[in-house]
A and B are shown apart, each in its own frame.
Chain A
Amino acid sequence: ETGVTQTPRHLVMGMTNKKSLKCEQHLGHNAMYWYKQSAKKPLELMFVYNFKEQTENNSVPSRFSPECPNSSHLFLHLHTLQPEDSALYLCASSQTTGTGSTEAFFGQGTRLTVV
């Protein structure tokens, strides 16, 4: 148990579906992240939120839409995805400090399959 909870754990969706991934952290952190993890590839940072404000969008396609209603919750809304979007989507949180941030704590991820 890392203090970061993601739901659902597994998701299969068609290319025309709309679904959302949810992340909740119970650590009192002020920064939250979405990562994409594909087999044998480095973690890809997708979005960063600091104090509920989006501070990073790493050229992610618009079919991925993040939402951060408060510092404890983070969503990733998905629509019209492609099969190559199939991957493990990881949420993480950390505490921003004056010299950067503490280590990131990860959720267990959502295994997404686009058919």
Chain B
Amino acid sequence: GQNIDQPTEMTATEGAIVQINCTYQTSGFNGLFWYQQHAGEAPTFLSYNVLDGLEEKGRFSSFLSRSKGYSYLLLKELQMKDSASYLCAAKDSNYQLIWGAGTKLIIKP
């Protein structure tokens, strides 16, 4: 079957760095997405990786290893507004998105 695994919840300190991991098992692979979702709001697109390596976008970076079925989202210089759920989703051979349950990130002062 197809599956996405990510931690349910993580806690980090304001100003620090946090890495949210995601492992995936899909029938074929056509890229991996990260979304951010604040409570009561729409998920918003953060990043897309289809090739191995690190994609940096400001304070957020996303890494992909296709051979390991693994990705992570790296958040630097954490701010209180980064408290949210982070959703990992992989696109399978039919271009369907397979979603993880999300990682709730709690930022403490």
Contact = CB atoms under 8 A, between A and B. Distances in A.
Interface in A34-57: 40-43, 45, 56
Contacts of B35: 106
B52 to A, nearest CB: 18
Given A41-B101, A42-B4, A100-B91, A2 B42 contact: yes
Among B33, B95, B97, chain A packs the most CB atoms within 10 A around the CB of B97
Given A42-B100, A42-B101, A43-B87, A101 B95 contact: yes
Interface of B: 4, 8, 30-31, 33, 35, 40-45, 48, 87, 89, 91, 95-102
Contacts, number: 44
A12 B63 CA distance: 41
Given A40-B8, A40-B101, A100-B91, A4 B42 contact: yes
Contacts of B45: 103-105
A99 to B, nearest CB: 8
Contacts of B42: 2, 4, 90, 106-109
A55 to B, nearest CB: 10
A106 B8 contact: no
B30 to A, nearest CB: 6
B91 A43 contact: no
Given A4-B42, A42-B4, 12 more contacts: A2-B44, A40-B8, A40-B102, A42-B102, A43-B87, A100-B30, A100-B95, A103-B45, A107-B42, A108-B41, A108-B42, A109-B42
B43 A106 contact: yes
A42 B33 contact: no
B47 to A, nearest CB: 9
29 contacts: A2-B42, A2-B44, A4-B42, A40-B8, A40-B101, A42-B4, A42-B100, A42-B102, A43-B87, A43-B89, A43-B97, A45-B96, A56-B96, A90-B42, A90-B43, A99-B30, A100-B30, A100-B31, A100-B95, A103-B45, A103-B48, A104-B97, A106-B35, A106-B42, A107-B42, A108-B40, A108-B41, A108-B42, A109-B42
